[in-house]
Amino acid sequence: MRMRILAKCLTLCLLFLCNYLSLGQTQGQDTNAQIERRVDNILAKMTLENKIRLIGGYDDMLVHAIPSVGFPQLRTADGPEGVRTWGPETAYAAGIALAATWNPDMARRLGESMGSDARAEGVHILLAPGVNIVRAPMDGRDFEYFGEDPFLASRIAVPFIQGVQSKGVVATVKHFAANNLEYGRSYVSSDMDERTLREIYLPAFEAAVKEAHVGSVMSALNLVNGEYAAENRHLNVDILKGEWGFDGILMSDWGAVHNGVASANAGLDLEMASGQFMSLETLLPAIESGKVSESTIDDKVRRIIRTAVRFGFLDREQLDVNIPLFNRAANKIALDSARESITLLKNEGHVLPLDRAKIKTIAVIGPNAWPAFPGGGGSSQVLPFAPVSILQGIADATDAKVLYARGLSADAAGLPLENDVYAKTVYGNALERAATNDVWGGPETVKIEAYTDKDFSGTPKILHSRRIDAAHLHTPIVVGGSIRYTASFTPIFSESHLFLISVQAEDSYKLWVNGEQVLEKKAGYDSQSTNWIELPLERDKTASIRIDYVPSQGHPQISLGVLPESQLVSEEAKRIAKQADAVIVSVGFDPSVECEGHERPFALPWGQDRLIQTISALNKRTIVTLTSGGNVDMRPWLDRVPALVHTWYPGQQGGTALAEIIFGDRSPEGHLPVTFDRSWEDSPVHNSYYAPLTKQGEIPRVTYSEGVFVGYRYYTSKNITPQFPFGFGLSYTNFSFTHLVVTPATSKVDDYSVDFDVTNIGKVSGSDVAQLYVGDPSSAVIRPEKELKGFDKVRLEPGQTKHISIKLDSRSFAYWDVIHSAWHVDPGRFTIYVGDSSENTPLKTDIVLKR
């Protein structure tokens, strides 16, 4: 036995030594030629079966080891909020927040820190960053991405990737490409013209490949122009591997492969999370019959081995136990990422910062004040060691008395993350509250009729009538069928009442009150969050309620609540608001609603508009903080509050960073990486975000009819002012922009240097983001009024001036020429704009590019 173990150890040592000697040494020391020799050596020793085994993942997050050639098992883990190994771990500001820092150096530090975290957890491949362009605020994954602008997204993605990879960890840029919605993300086609694809949706991927030499690319779940991303040769073979020369791993998103042969021939190298389609059963016969060539398989294997060799995975252990998991340095980076991303959007009458000397009592109110919401939901969500909530951050930062009330009824303590539990809690409590407050005229009953089809036809089975009590509606099991609920409600107050209804994301329903349909949710297309409507009701006048509910699965779950408006905001919240010297009202979403796989609503969750209205009417010094991955409908309350701070999803130190800003220890620094529309109807994608309904078997298609005019490109071109423009963010000081000079930088006709000065003209130190936009009014094709082509974040003391110099190259002036399939610069007049948002560009000059 002992001999056998010894022999096994010796074989392993020999294998390792062989690899070590014949294939070079450590990461960074191998030249490309040496790497290729090592790869050839390993490949030559592999059987076809082993090769096919390597190109399909297993156990959800792993890539197979091939022990016979000394190839180790590779471990992947999600990002970008942190390195997700199901906790505890460090949670950083989410992707959109990182973009709001407009600080490539912050992105590099954050990437380095995540790289170290990955090493501390033995992770080889980090599944981050996500660089899909934000089209609409309802996409439940916007919070993971870097905003609406391809240039900003590129400048954040490149240093982030370089930071991760500097620690010997492969970064994965995802989701390639045009994954810009979450409803139907696995079956909707993103359709657009080639110019839009090249100018808006691909540049961040291109920069990741060409500049950051990203080790891995993840293809998207969706279709692009009618072909699954994993089967899209134009994207994968022509562009990624051809034009851009990508020589790393192209992996699929989890479950995004539908046809093993098509994907194998379309450039996909690794099927995740398992080799379900690129399997022995599919590929061996396909190779035999010539449908897939063995060299195609070899190329995939070569890429996987090449990447492993390049990152040193064959030469050292990936797990580094000397890196602390509970890491103070990482915690500081999490804090810095929050500090630089939190964005001040409104500050009327300089209500902020609060003066510690004058504020004796602060009321902290709202569902987002506690607990902490470091990130949105889905695969990026990490479980931090000790996240700091807004309530704790404020309380830790002041000697004033801090009073707290959630303000709205329902899911008070420890919000569960499972969506179904959440729904139950909300409605359980909503109804409980209703019941205990005697707002039901009761006793009321509900009739439950189950139908065997989805159309409510035929004779229903009346399950039973039961009293509505403090629980969610009873849900019979109706596989493939539908349920009708009929109930009545007799109010004891004459006032507006909130009807709240919640189901699972793929379910659908219609709600009628007094014979009129008042709410509808279509299957899959709408978010999983609670839907609500306010209706006036009269005391003692019984209202009829009917719900036609079509559950998507065998275990349906529906909850209904009715709340009189006067009972919505709690008495405690009103009382503490009245007596406080200032109020922080913290509203927004949470990971169960703003979440991968779902859309979230444009409106704030139920009751929150009313909470802000009620509290701001009681206390003039009401500061709203907003937790979300992007914009929300602010029309119901923005005019009524003096201050609004957007916290995004700020990571584990969000509460600390917010408190520093509230009390003026630091000036806010964040600037918007997305345009905030006034209303959803104003958005340039309003008519093209949801795919028109299709017949069974047809692909739902979203046509990107706005073309390149996404976000500020639309608003500046149409001369419409949005709620808050792209690039906007207030500080506690002011800045001036002067002395713009544009000069040729080299003898090339399209190399320029743009020079100008930024001065802090206020009384405190602070930072601003100087932004350079280029316009091409004499172009042969229609182009946006302004496009971001450079920026520089400056931190200045009062009175200090900094000279800034930004270089422009030919790509800064170019558009994608569809006729020649190339970037092209039209000679003629160009306008250079400089300022600190897409709307505020006080410096402007024209230059003429000669032929």
Give the residue numbers annotated as catalytic, written as ranges: 253
- The least CB distance from residue 115 to ligand BGC, in Å, is 17
User: Rounded to the nearest whole angstrom, what is the least distance from the CB of residue 366 to ligand BGC in the complex?
Assistant: 30
Residue 254 in contact with ligand BGC, rule: CB under 6 A: yes
Min dist. Cβ of residue 113 to ligand BGC (A): 19
Q: How far is the C-alpha of 144 from the C-alpha of 79, rounded, in Å?
A: 9
DSSP character string of 263-323: HHHTT--BBSS--SSSSHHHHHHHHHTTSS-HHHHHHHHHHHHHHHHHTTTTTS-S--TTS
Q: Which is nearer to ligand BGC, 78 or 336 (CB)?
A: 78
- Tokens 């070079």, residue located: 24
Contact in structure between 408 and 367 (CB atoms under 8 Å): yes
Binding of ligand BGC at residue 759 (CB under 6 A)?
no
Distance CA 761, CA 721 (A): 26
How many whole angstroms from its chain centre is CA 504? Answer: 21
Alpha carbon of 764 to those of 346, 621, 798: distances in Å? 18, 22, 5
- Looking at the Cβ atoms of 111 and 551, the one nearer to ligand BGC is 111
Q: Which is nearer to ligand BGC, 433 or 598 (CB)?
A: 598
Q: CA 278, CA 16: separation in Å to the nearest integer? A: 29
Q: Which of 331, 379, 475, 530 lies at the binding interface for ligand BGC (CB under 6 A)?
A: 379
Q: For ligand BGC, which residue of 30, 42, 54, 78 counts as binding (CB under 6 A)?
A: 78
Cα-Cα-Cα-Cα dihedral of 505, 507, 508, 512, to 10°? -90
The residue count of the chain comes to 851
Q: What are the CA-CA distances from residue 814 to residues 17, 749, 809 (Å)?
A: 51, 13, 9
Site mask for ligand BGC (CB under 6 A), range 608-647, x = bound: ----------------------------------------
- Smallest Cα–Cα separation from 755: which of 703, 686, 803, 817? 803
User: In angstroms, rounded to a whole number, what is the distance separating the alpha carbons of residues 415 and 373?
Assistant: 10
CB of 162 to ligand BGC, least distance (A): 20
Q: How far is the CB of 311 from ligand BGC (least distance, A)?
A: 19
Give dist(CA 821, CA 205) in Å, integer. 18
DSSP 486-549: EEEE-BSS-EEEEEEEE--TT-EEEEEETTEEEEEE-TTTS-SSPEEEEEEE-TT-PEEEEEEE
CA distance 21 to 297: 26
Residue 174 vs 786, nearer CB to ligand BGC? 174
User: Which is nearer to ligand BGC, 62 or 699 (by Cβ)?
Assistant: 62
| Min dist. Cβ of residue 370 to ligand BGC (A) | 29
Backbone angles phi, psi at 806, to 5 degrees: -120, 135
Report the distance separating Cα 174 and Cα 186, nearest Å: 15
Nearer to ligand BGC, 82 or 353 (CB): 82
Q: Does 127 participate in binding ligand BGC (rule CB under 6 A)?
A: yes
- Beta carbon of residue 78, minimum distance to ligand BGC (angstroms, whole number): 5
User: Which one, 222 or 837, has the nearer CB to ligand BGC?
Assistant: 222
Residue closer to ligand BGC by CB (options 254, 735) is 254
Q: Residue 599 interacts with ligand BGC (CB under 6 A)?
A: no
Smallest gap, in angstroms, from Cβ of residue 125 to ligand BGC? 10
Contact by Cβ (8 Å): 490, 466: no
Contacts of 298 (CB under 8 A, 6+ apart): 43, 51
Q: How far is the CB of 567 from ligand BGC (least distance, A)?
A: 40
CB of 253 to ligand BGC, least distance (A): 5
Nearest to 116 by CA among 86, 82, 87, 145: 82
Other C-beta atoms within 10 Å of 432: how many?
A: 16
Residue 253 sits in the site that holds ligand BGC (CB under 6 A)? yes
Residue of this chain nearest to ligand BGC (CB atom): 379
Pairing of β 482-489 and β 445-451:
antiparallel
H or E segment and range at residue 173:
strand 170-176
# of chain residues touching ligand BGC (CB under 6 A): 6
Question: 791 in helix, strand or coil?
Answer: strand
**Tokens of residue 205, six digits:** 């991927």
Of the two residues 174 and 346, which places its CB atom closer to ligand BGC in the complex?
174
Count of C-beta atoms within a 10 Å radius of residue 399: 8
* In the complex, least distance from residue 127 CB atom to ligand BGC, rounded to whole angstroms: 4
Please tell me whether residue 154 binds ligand BGC under the rule CB under 6 A: no
Interaction of residue 75 with ligand BGC, rule CB under 6 A: no
User: Residue 401 pairs with which residues in a beta bridge?
Assistant: 361
Q: Select from 145, 344, 154 the least CA-distant residue to 767.
A: 344
Runs of H (alpha helix) within 71-213: 95-101, 104-120, 150-165, 194-196, 203-210
Nearer to ligand BGC, 219 or 675 (CB): 219
What does the per-residue mask of binding to ligand BGC show for 461-500, with x meaning CB under 6 A? Answer: ----------------------------------------
Nearer to ligand BGC, 254 or 370 (CB): 254
Binding residues among 174-203 for ligand BGC as defined by CB under 6 A = 174
How many other CB atoms sit within 10 Å of the CB of residue 780? 11
Q: Report the interface residues with ligand BGC, using CB under 6 A.
A: 78, 127, 174, 253-254, 379
